[in-house]
Amino acid sequence: MDLDQTISALHSAFVAQLDRASTLEAIEAVRVEALGRKGKLSEISKNFGKLPPEERKTAGARLNQVKQDLEARLEARKADLQSTALDAQLESEWLDLTAPAPGPRPGSLHPVTQVQREIEDLFVSLGFTVLDGPEVETEFYNFDALNIPADHPARDMQDTFWLKDGRLLRTHTSPVQVRGLEKLGPPLKMIAPGRVFRNEEVDPSHEHTFYQLEGMMVDRDVSVAHLIYFMKTLLSAVFHRDVTVRLRPGFFPFVEPGFELDIQCIICAGKGCPVCKQSGWVELLPCGLVNPAVLRYSGVDPEQWNGFAFGLGLTRLAMMRYGIDDIRLFSSGDLRFLRQF
């Protein structure tokens, strides 16, 4: 094999190696082997000194041509691989900037809040005003103005958290009846949802903190028929179906006559369970005609005005509505419970 053939053979061998090289490292290895200082082509030029001048010239020219060709091929192959690698990277790291950000998971309203808002919407549509009252209340509004004097046994029905300054955590939303009448006067149609507090033993159906929704309508010639109409409208809207109810006489000093409206327990369908204390019925809606004494305490003339009032157990209603059998779940903060609503 003469020198020219050797050079050509090396050339084609490197071209073939380069075609097979699939990484930048492999390309670099080909470059070192072919064009490096100790590479195959450099080895050849070391022997040029022994050649006659004419031959040396042509062999040198041929060698340079091969070197340039290999250099060009190396660069081209490298660029090729780099752009393939870039394409793959772009593909794998592709990010759709127009897609909505993942962000925090959407939350949901507490079940009591959902029921509360639904009832607010209903009563607003019936012309009622939604009122708020303070959770820290005076003895006057929580008891006296509601016709519950200090020595009255009805006070013992509501175990009270007393504050050191003589005020208390309201035991019911009824004080807002008086505050509402004082502020807005008759005629008045109002509801007052809110948190109330009782110092009592906690169990599946009793909490120290729960929600009520007070309602009152004061106008001229209000009767029990008005009361029943609004209570029926309320309950069919809340349960989206007919619920079995019963009315019993009930005693509350701020109404006369007073009633206890019970619904048949939806959890056990009347069979008896912890929520209904095995009775099959749940006290849901105490109500009655506003006691004239309360009107007087509120600065309203009972000769001119009268009305009805009711105190809905909002928390208990949410339990019935969603089939929740333990009242303590509401304030547990347990996300497994809350995420269901």
Q: Which residues in this chain contact ligand DAH in the complex, by CB under 6 A?
A: 172, 174, 214, 252, 255, 286-288, 309-311
Q: What are phi and psi of 195, to 5 degrees?
A: -90, 140
Provide, rounded to whole angstroms, the least separation between the CB of residue 107 and ligand DAH.
30
CB-wise, 33 or 283, nearer to ligand DAH? 283
Q: Which is nearer to ligand DAH, 39 or 215 (CB)?
A: 215
In whole angstroms, the minimum distance from the beta carbon of 144 to ligand DAH comes to: 14
Q: How far is the CB of 328 from ligand DAH (least distance, A)?
A: 19
Sign of dihedral through CA atoms 88, 89, 92, 97? Answer: negative
Query: Least distance from C-beta 283 to ligand DAH, angstroms?
Result: 9
Minimum CB distance to ligand DAH, residue 288 (Å): 5
Which CB atom, from 137 or from 214, has the smaller least distance to ligand DAH?
Answer: 214
For ligand DAH, give the closer residue by CB, 122 or 154. 154
Quick one: 115 or 147, whose CB is closer to ligand DAH?
Answer: 147
Phi and psi for 336 in degrees, rounded to 5?
Answer: -60, -35
What residues does 309 pair with on adjacent strands? 216, 288
> Measured between alpha carbons, how far is 118 from 124 in angstroms, rounded to an integer?
10
Positive/negative CA dihedral, 314, 318, 324, 328: negative
Select 18 or 238, whichever has its Cβ closest to ligand DAH.
238
For ligand DAH, which residue has the nearest CB?
311
User: For 326-331, which contacts have Cβ atoms below 8 Å and span 24 or more sequence positions?
Assistant: 326/204, 326/274, 327/204, 327/205, 327/206, 327/207, 327/210, 328/202, 328/204, 328/207, 330/110, 330/111, 330/112, 330/207, 330/210, 331/207, 331/209
CB of 255 to ligand DAH, least distance (A): 4
DSSP tag of 162: B
Q: How far apart are CA 150 and CA 166, in angstroms?
A: 13
Contact predicate 161/199, CB 8 Å: yes
